[in-house]
Structure 1
Amino acid sequence: MERRPLLHIRGSINTDEFLDDSVKVSPDCGKVLSAKYESLDYDVCENSLLLEEERRRGYPYILRMGISRWLVMCIIGAATALVACVIDISIDQLTTLKYRVLKKFTDQCILENCLVTPFLLWASFNVCFVIIAAICGSCVEPVAAGSGIPQVKCYLNGVKIPRVVRIKTLLAKAVGVTFSVAGGLAVGKEGPMVHSGAVIAAGVSQGKSTSLKQDIGIFEYFREDREKRDFVSGGAAAGVAAAFGAPVGGVLFSLEEGASFWNQSLTWRIFFGSMVSVFVLNLVLSAYHGQPGQLAYAGLLNFGKFDTLNYDWLELPIFLCMGGIGGLLGAFFNQLNYKLSKFRMRHIGHRAWMQVMEAMIVAATTATAGFIMIYTIDDCRPIGQDPNKFSIQMFCGDGEYNTLGALWFQTPEASVRSFFHDPPGSHHPVSVMSFFIVYFLLAIWTYGLGIPSGLFIPGLLTGAAWGRLVGMGLSAAFPTAAWVDPGKYALVGAGAMLGGIVRMTLSLTVILIEATGNISFGLPLMITLITAKWVGDYFNEGIYDMQIGLAGVPILAWEAPPLSRTIYAPQVMSHPVITFSPVEKVRNIVNVLKTEVHNGFPVVEHSSCDSEELGRSCGRLRGLILRSQLITLLQQRAFNEEPALLSRHIAMKNFRASYPRYPSIREVELKEEDMEHTIDLRPYMNPSPYSIQHNTSLPRIYLLFRGLGLRHLVVVSDSNQVVGVVTRKDLARFRAGHHRGQSGTEELLISERV
């Protein structure tokens, strides 16, 4: 039996691990790509039909498309803001009801010396709410679980993630995250807004819903992967803008963390959509909170107004050290969560009932941990210092409140504001340290559950906690220093912690600047975040990249792996190649589509590639035809032998009609006599597909494939004879690898498991 390397690092490392062909490799090891993920077609097929359509419609058609792009982006921003408002108002109503009841029974039980009732009520509220969230994320639509940022990042990179932008996913995400936050878990609602905005953008830009089987009949010219990708980028940015009230930060987030393709005109449209999102959300939430027209609620997460946010140059080394701490804690967070995710994949898998049970256990544990902390730690402060409307007395004296009760009896967003703005002396160091440790561990356990949830707030809250501790320590060390402000260090710690987990720098800096309304503090934040990223990257990847690797998604990095110039096209490409002739028999087309899973086929002259010999010629390249195009031609009966049917003039609208869910070949009804007919592929194929010479190196292949958003790259010989095809999975097999201090190019396998 042939043996092939499981892990081969080219360059300075060469391992000796091998794997039999009979062994099925699970992608959960992080070293294997999953074969179930397909690519998106970001390359425009410039066939005869498209050129004829543009000539016929002329410049007015181009102008109408340009105006429509701005209109669609405006609708995306407004719709994303409205969804965010619904989520925020629902959480506010549910948490108000929950904490009002808990406060009532807690105060009563203090007088009667009974605490069992409020504890059971707290745990029951959490578990009941989380059950609804877990059903949404585990049973109704599993792709709605988590924040959705890794899935959106993969989609924008060119990977087709099943069901990621369906309306059912949006409903499950919105309902699930509402009950996840209301259930008291260590999650936030801000991260899922990125996914929600992406789903809204995908639906609005197409003018139809395939889930609801409704077609409004507008924006048909945007029904292709390239146009849809640009709108999804705008939706992701609008989601960030709505979450933090940061339109510029939203644009930069989409650029830095999401989009793999960008241009200047897209930047302006996305910024416009983000501005609309912030304005609409501000308008609605201001009215809801009794301040109509004042626009006092720019985002879902309101950091509050910092009275003074100045810094001394002597503090820059402190900020640098805090960035290092954030990077270390972020790497520790990611590593523990990575181990836990692998454990879940092996022992829980896709069993929905086990995912629901785990979420219930985490919800009950969270309530128990909070109750034990409130019960055991005696940290009382005079009433008047606490901004929380549901502060409890517990065992404190008259006129006092329990500070840990104030932290737990509110949403995580409110706790972040407490660490930012509570006056000095509002918290005991033991209370803050205990809260940080418990919430940090709960956040690690919670992220990855089968519930819609976000990671931004847990990162900010845990960072704000230890940042506040740093500020308290500095206040004790320099009691007369005017520059010491615990709230300021809580902000720096929040940024360092979140940056150490997700490894964002530029976009997160701008988000924090916009959220705080203080641009002069940008330098300390940038220093902190860059340090956190450098330190974290020394140990492991960011949390989103880790999750993508665990899923085995064939995502492409910005650049080719190092030391890969000695790898050439024959070592990368897939071969032998399935090809078609310019005029092909229907039977042959049907047989190929039924037996092969490829999505693109070179069209060649004198096709005769039936040998697996490397470098074997498959005919002179004439074009490239896609599976979806072939299925559409079979459905439309574009047979040369039926001129009456062919004269109906097949146009681009026929290919856009079924987008994005094209039927399978087994759904196409053909008679036996149809099998003997032929189809002329030349008007429908791409006559000028991108191709490379067989002696092209991997970095050049990578640059061309990645920069142009390709799905297929044909490899030809010196005489333009097809010898292979490079696909996304072929390139994604090669990535940067590190082993015992050495670097090289790591070559992975593709798993047959789905």
Structure 2
Amino acid sequence: MDENKTLINLEDDISEEDDPIVLNKKTGHSSKPIIDIEVNQSEEPTTSSSGRTAPANSGNYPLIDNDHPPLLENFTPPVPRESQINGNAGSASRDINNLEPIFHLRSRTAAASTPNYESLDYEVCENTLFQDEQREQLAERFSLRKDIIRWIIFIQIGIITALIACSIDIIIEELSELKYQFLIKSVQENVPLSDATEGDLVIPYLYWLLFSILPVAFGAAMVTYIEPITAGSGIPQVKSYLNGVKIPRIVRIKTLAVKAIGVITSVVGGLAGGKEGPMIHAGAVVAAGISQGKSTTFVKDFRIFKAFRDDHEKRDFVLGGGAAGVSAAFGAPIGGMLFSLEEAASFWNQNLIWRTLVASIISVFTLNIVLSAYHGLNDFTFTGLFNLGKFDQPLKFDYFELPIFMILGVSGGLLGAAWNSLNTKINKFRKRFIPWKIGKVIEAVVVAIMGVTLACLMIYFINDCRPLGNDPTNNPVQLFCEDNEYNAVAALWFQTPEATVRSLFHDPPGSHKILTLALFTVVYYVLSCATFGLNVSLGVFIPTALVGAAWGRLLAMVTFYFFPQAEFLHPGKYALIGAAANLGGVLRMTISLSVILMETTGVESSFFFPLIIALISAKWVGDYFNEGIYDTQIQVNHVPMLTWEPLPQYKGLTAQKILSSPVVCIKLRDSAHYIYQMLKKCEHNGFPVVDNVEGNRRSEGRVCGIILRSQLIVILLKSLYVENKRFWLPETSIQTFRDLYPRYPSIKSVRKLDEKINYTVDLSMFMNPSPVRVNPHDSVPRIFQIFRALGLRHLLVINNENRIAGIITRRDFIYK
């Protein structure tokens, strides 16, 4: 036997502590000593024969799917034992033919220290049970009913997402109104209206602190202690899920509840964020819950929509839910669909476009009816949560302004790239120095205190009084101003961020001092950068648009100050261009953002050209320095996300250079005891099925399919053995496996096979008989396109004799 191959004994019925898995790792042509990996810890980085450094790695790395890489903390390197190499009295008595290989370590650097992420099974397992169901449905015309049910589910997703959005918006509006009305009353009672020498902002300041600290602390505590996955906007998590990465607890009902409460408390608390981003996550949760017809949280199965209980179907519904969330947030159905296509979706088809568009339209229509009725409108013009209002006059531009718009786009790209870089450094600092839960709650409170303090300092030291009558604010404050005047600085802070964006778009010229907008831009830029990444539920769209609108309007005011004859300098127009440029610089989206801004503000289609110029300029400039904020967050969290194109490092490589081998295989008819012990000893999630095996050398058999770990556990749990086939065969169908989706049991839930140790499992009706296969000499870019386009989890590499040469998974395309 080749001594370089790794061996595991799965036939002896002894404990894992007494029977360690033995691993030999190879790099290139070099070999390493066999190492005991039963300690389930990581080994020190080692140097390959080529001089490159191999990463710290678990004993089971690379896993078949690498879904459970171990943590690297508290590491103690296992000691190689010579007795394992040469054998001893105990190991000599073992049947050498019952041993199976694990894997060797490749010489290239891989993501070995990444967190615990699994892949989703987007590839449909077309086994015998699935094909039987397809034939039955064809005879019963079930496919037509299934399509109708699918449309009904998308409509339900749109309606429920809109109702949740309406509830969140109404609660935020009512609580914010009470908060700011109380603060205005406190200002009027404690600060003389026209005598600035005796002004005292201490009491209103303390009240403002109280009304910010309490909701922020409550929301941060809920997110931190109950459901940490709800922190942030949720868009990076949804994007990763749609790419094929299983993010734990992302689409649960408890996640939705904490997300909704967290958004309400954060916005009411006055943090620099908005509720629009989290609505996308909320829509995804709604879609995942409705489409499955069951609740694992409440352990309730409604016995409906059973045909959609798999990752492939669920992915499409989650995409529709995200689009419905965008549409509800901005009142932009076309923008919602394009957002899903441009930013969220990794897999797309024509039918999905129509279903997503219908869900988006239904969501906007439902929200329009509810909010218009709530606000007492008869013409149904309240189209979305992010209601920027309509411009009184059509926005026009001259062609000599196009270079100015391009300069604004370049400025937005530079500011956006700097914002992303600074925010990433702040979040890395948080991750390293604030690991405690209580510290994360305190940090959110500190940022809230900082925001209130900076706002009060601006209000106190800047004298910007404007005449009443032209103010667009709902609650003008006469703080330190004469009669019939209002404080323009207080007007920027004494309202929600959405209302401030609307004011910057529609305020008449001369509504603010240059100093006011300049300081407000700097303060909010810093606050938004410090806020995004806190353990609170908040989006980044509103603060980014607000900063862009502020500096866009500021540039128009400064330019008009030096060139008063320039009548084309409409401050609202440049505020809109500035918002678009800043959004493009931070988010790096172009088409969907243009459509969203057009649908939200009601500008003419002719103004699409200036918007797209600013957005593309911002994206190109920003991409030169770093990625968009969502992609940056995904990279910082080490999520194995597959990009649209393979990385440049893979050009010129073949499958032989990146595959993992040898591979743990299972015979077409294998012993239940072997399968049970194998599942206990390794955490792989996919196993090639082979036949024509000589003895027990499974890795040398011919490939006839692939079986998933979840399927094997269900087989053992349901005792689907050859020996008792007559009992379970009539009642077994594809629904037997779907009923346990999505929380399949672990191998720990399977009892030890004491009485069934000699039972046999026939995998012919359970395995996927047509897995995607490639040749060892196929190029990596071609393999990458196949892997990504089909949404694969495992890709088999076979030689000319149809024998397994290795296996490729998602992590084999992640170069670190």
TM-score range (shorter-chain normalised) is over 0.9
- Inter-CA distance 107–608: structure 2 relative to 1 (3 Å threshold): farther
Q: Which residue of 2 aligns with 1:41?
A: 121
User: Which AA in structure 2 matches 1:687?
Assistant: P
User: Which AA in structure 2 matches 1:296?
Assistant: T
- Say which of 595, 599, 616 aligns to 2:685: 599
Q: Deviations over 1:695-744 (max 9, x none)?
A: 1111011011001000000010111100111111112x23xxxxxxxxxx
Q: Which residue of 2 aligns with 1:375?
A: 460
Q: Which residue of 2 aligns with 1:245?
A: 331
User: Which AA in structure 1 matches 2:647?
Assistant: P
- Does residue 102 (structure 1) correspond to residue 183 (structure 2)? The answer is yes
In 2, the alpha carbon distance for the partners of 1:377 and 1:608 equals 86
Is contact 1:33–1:554 with CA below 8 Å preserved after alignment? Answer: no
- Does residue 91 (structure 1) correspond to residue 172 (structure 2)? The answer is yes
Q: Secondary structure at the match of 1:394?
A: coil
Q: Which residue of 2 aligns with 1:301?
A: 386
- Say which of 206, 209, 223 aligns to 2:295: 209
User: Which AA in structure 1 matches 2:418?
Assistant: F
Q: Secondary structure at the match of 1:723?
A: strand
In 2, the alpha carbon distance for the partners of 1:434 and 1:302 equals 25
Alpha-carbon shift at residue 479 of structure 1 (Å) = 2.5
Q: Which residue of 1 aligns with 2:314?
A: 228
Q: Which residue of 2 aligns with 1:259?
A: 345
User: Which AA in structure 1 matches 2:126?
Assistant: E
- Does residue 406 (structure 1) correspond to residue 498 (structure 2)? The answer is no
In 2, the alpha carbon distance for the partners of 1:280 and 1:35 equals 40
Q: Which residue of 2 aligns with 1:555?
A: 641
Alpha-carbon shift at residue 649 of structure 1 (Å) = 3.3
In 1, the alpha carbon distance for the partners of 2:600 and 2:389 equals 8
Is contact 1:3–1:19 with CA below 8 Å preserved after alignment? Answer: no
TM-score (norm 2): 0.86
Q: Which residue of 1 aligns with 2:153?
A: 72
Alpha-carbon shift at residue 608 of structure 1 (Å) = 7.0
Aligned-pair Cα RMSD in Å: 2.2
User: Which AA in structure 2 matches 1:678?
Assistant: T
Which residues of structure 2 form unaligned runs of 5+?
Answer: 1-23, 29-43, 59-69, 74-108, 193-197
- Say which of 789, 792, 795 aligns to 1:707: 789
Q: Secondary structure at the match of 1:584?
A: strand
Q: Which residue of 2 aligns with 1:173?
A: 259
Q: Secondary structure at the match of 1:41?
A: coil
- Inter-CA distance 497–55: structure 2 relative to 1 (3 Å threshold): same
- Inter-CA distance 119–602: structure 2 relative to 1 (3 Å threshold): same
Over the matched positions of the two proteins, sequence identity in percent amounts to 51
Q: Deviations over 1:253-286 (max 9, x none)?
A: 0011001000001000000000000000011001
Counterparts of 1:477-626 in structure 2 under 5 Å?
Answer: 477-518=562-603, 519-562=605-648, 564-607=650-693, 618-626=700-708
Q: Which residue of 2 aligns with 1:454?
A: 539
Q: Deviations over 1:211-248 (max 9, x none)?
A: 11111111100000010000000011001100111000
Counterparts of 1:277-426 in structure 2 under 5 Å?
Answer: 277-291=363-377, 293-306=378-391, 307-349=393-435, 351-426=436-511
In 2, the alpha carbon distance for the partners of 1:90 and 1:245 equals 18
Q: Secondary structure at the match of 2:807?
A: strand
Q: Which has the higher contact order (CA 8 A, sep 6+)?
A: 1
- Inter-CA distance 497–51: structure 2 relative to 1 (3 Å threshold): same
In 1, the alpha carbon distance for the partners of 2:725 and 2:242 equals 42
Alpha-carbon shift at residue 96 of structure 1 (Å) = 0.7
Larger radius of gyration: 2
Is contact 1:34–1:552 with CA below 8 Å preserved after alignment? Answer: yes
Moved more, 469-478 or 281-290: 469-478
User: Which AA in structure 2 matches 1:626?
Assistant: L
User: Which AA in structure 2 matches 1:100?
Assistant: Q
In 2, the alpha carbon distance for the partners of 1:475 and 1:389 equals 28
Moved more, 73-82 or 471-480: 471-480
- Say which of 271, 288, 295 aligns to 1:185: 271
- Inter-CA distance 120–316: structure 2 relative to 1 (3 Å threshold): same
- Inter-CA distance 705–90: structure 2 relative to 1 (3 Å threshold): same
Is contact 1:33–1:553 with CA below 8 Å preserved after alignment? Answer: no
Is contact 1:30–1:550 with CA below 8 Å preserved after alignment? Answer: no
- Inter-CA distance 31–223: structure 2 relative to 1 (3 Å threshold): closer
Q: Deviations over 1:155-174 (max 9, x none)?
A: 00000000001111000100
Alpha-carbon shift at residue 636 of structure 1 (Å) = 1.7
- Inter-CA distance 32–491: structure 2 relative to 1 (3 Å threshold): farther
Moved more, 554-563 or 421-430: 554-563
Q: Which residue of 1 aligns with 2:552?
A: 467
- Inter-CA distance 42–327: structure 2 relative to 1 (3 Å threshold): same
Moved more, 566-575 or 43-52: 566-575
In 1, the alpha carbon distance for the partners of 2:593 and 2:353 equals 18
In 1, the alpha carbon distance for the partners of 2:113 and 2:500 equals 40
Q: Secondary structure at the match of 2:208?
A: helix
- Inter-CA distance 257–550: structure 2 relative to 1 (3 Å threshold): same
- Inter-CA distance 588–17: structure 2 relative to 1 (3 Å threshold): closer
Alpha-carbon shift at residue 670 of structure 1 (Å) = 4.7
- Inter-CA distance 32–623: structure 2 relative to 1 (3 Å threshold): closer
TM-score (norm 1): 0.92
- Inter-CA distance 457–515: structure 2 relative to 1 (3 Å threshold): same
Q: Secondary structure at the match of 2:703?
A: strand
Which residues of structure 1 form unaligned runs of 5+?
Answer: 9-13, 735-747, 749-754
Counterparts of 1:673-752 in structure 2 under 5 Å?
Answer: 673-731=755-813, 733-734=814-815, 748=816
Alpha-carbon shift at residue 632 of structure 1 (Å) = 1.3
Is contact 2:646–2:784 with CA below 8 Å preserved after alignment? Answer: yes
- Say which of 713, 735, 760 aligns to 1:653: 735
Is contact 2:199–2:480 with CA below 8 Å preserved after alignment? Answer: no
In 1, the alpha carbon distance for the partners of 2:177 and 2:440 equals 28
Is contact 2:71–2:113 with CA below 8 Å preserved after alignment? Answer: no
In 2, the alpha carbon distance for the partners of 1:698 and 1:404 equals 58
Is contact 1:3–1:20 with CA below 8 Å preserved after alignment? Answer: no
- Inter-CA distance 19–645: structure 2 relative to 1 (3 Å threshold): closer
Alpha-carbon shift at residue 475 of structure 1 (Å) = 2.2
Q: Which residue of 2 aligns with 1:738?
A: none
In 1, the alpha carbon distance for the partners of 2:396 and 2:471 equals 24
User: Which AA in structure 1 matches 2:165?
Assistant: A
Is contact 1:77–1:274 with CA below 8 Å preserved after alignment? Answer: yes
User: Which AA in structure 2 matches 1:420?
Assistant: F
In 1, the alpha carbon distance for the partners of 2:571 and 2:539 equals 26
Moved more, 201-210 or 389-398: 389-398
Moved more, 396-405 or 32-41: 32-41
Is contact 1:501–1:542 with CA below 8 Å preserved after alignment? Answer: yes
- Inter-CA distance 609–173: structure 2 relative to 1 (3 Å threshold): farther
Counterparts of 1:424-435 in structure 2 under 5 Å?
Answer: 424-435=509-520
Q: Which residue of 2 aligns with 1:668?
A: 750
Alpha-carbon shift at residue 480 of structure 1 (Å) = 3.2
Is contact 1:692–1:715 with CA below 8 Å preserved after alignment? Answer: yes
Q: Which residue of 1 aligns with 2:8?
A: none
